[in-house]
Amino acid sequence: MTFSNESILLNQISVGDEKAFNKLYDFYRPGIYRFIYKFIKSSELTNDICQEVFMKIWEERWAIQEINSFKSYLFTITKNHTFNVLKRAAVEDRIKGEVLRNYCVSKNDTEEILQVKEYQQFLQTILDSLPPQSRAVFKLCRQQDKSYDEAAQILGVSSNAIKKHMVRSMKVIKFAVEKDMGIAFSVFMELVVQSGDLLLVV
Q: What's the pLDDT tens digit per position in 81-125?
A: 888 877 776 656 554 555 455 545 444 555 556 666 777 788 888
Q: At residue 188, does pLDDT exceed 80? A: no
Collapsed DSSP state (helix, strand, coil) of residue 198? coil
pTM over 0.85: no
- Determine if residue 14 is left, alpha or beta; phi over 0 gives left, psi from -120 to 50 gives alpha, anything else beta: alpha
Q: Is residue 101 part of a domain?
A: no
Q: Is 111 in the same domain as 80?
A: no
CA distance 49 to 56: 11
- Determine if residue 163 is left, alpha or beta; phi over 0 gives left, psi from -120 to 50 gives alpha, anything else beta: alpha
CA distance 143 to 121: 16
Range of the domain at 36: 3-84
Q: Is residue 97 part of a domain?
A: no
Size of the chain, expressed as the number of residues it contains: 202
Q: Is residue 94 part of a domain?
A: no
CATH code for position 169:
1.10.10.10
Q: Is 181 in the same domain as 121?
A: yes
Round the average pLDDT of the chain to a whole number and report it: 79
Residues 74-86 have a mean pLDDT of 85
Q: Is residue 122 part of a domain?
A: yes
Q: Is 71 in the same domain as 131?
A: no
44-64: per-residue pLDDT in tens? 888 889 999 999 999 999 888
Q: Is 68 in the same domain as 116?
A: no
Instruction: Out of 51, 69, 84, pick the residue that ends a domain.
Output: 84
Q: Is 119 in the same domain as 72?
A: no
Q: Is residue 64 part of a domain?
A: yes
pLDDT at residue 183, as a whole number: 67
Instruction: Out of 32, 51, 84, pick the residue that ends a domain.
Output: 84
Q: Is 113 in the same domain as 187?
A: yes
pLDDT at residue 131, as a whole number: 92
Q: Is 144 in the same domain as 186?
A: yes
Please give the residue that has the higher pLDDT: either 2 or 193. Answer: 2
The number of domains in the chain is: 2
Please give the residue that has the higher pLDDT: either 4 or 124. Answer: 124
Q: Is 143 in the same domain as 71?
A: no
Residues 134-156 have a mean pLDDT of 89
Residues 161-178 have a mean pLDDT of 88
Residues 179-190 have a mean pLDDT of 70
CATH code for position 25:
1.10.1740.10
Q: Is residue 114 part of a domain?
A: yes
Q: Is 36 in the same domain as 115?
A: no
Share of the chain above pLDDT 70, in %: 74
Q: Is 126 in the same domain as 61?
A: no
Q: Is 12 in the same domain as 66?
A: yes
Q: Is 116 in the same domain as 76?
A: no
Q: Is residue 66 part of a domain?
A: yes
Q: Is residue 95 part of a domain?
A: no
Output the CA torsion 9→14→16→20 (10° steps).
10
CB-based contacts of 21, cutoff 8 Å, min separation 6: 13, 57, 58, 61
HSE of 18 in the Cβ direction (CA atoms, 13 Å)?
Answer: 5
pLDDT at residue 200, as a whole number: 38
DSSP codes, 38-99: HHH--HHHHHHHHHHHHHHHHHTGGGGGG-S-HHHHHHHHHHHHHHHHHHHHHHHHHHHHHH
HSE of 116 in the Cβ direction (CA atoms, 13 Å)?
Answer: 22
pLDDT at residue 62, as a whole number: 86
Encoded amino acid at 60, one letter: E
10-42: per-residue pLDDT in tens? 999 999 999 999 999 999 999 999 988 888 877
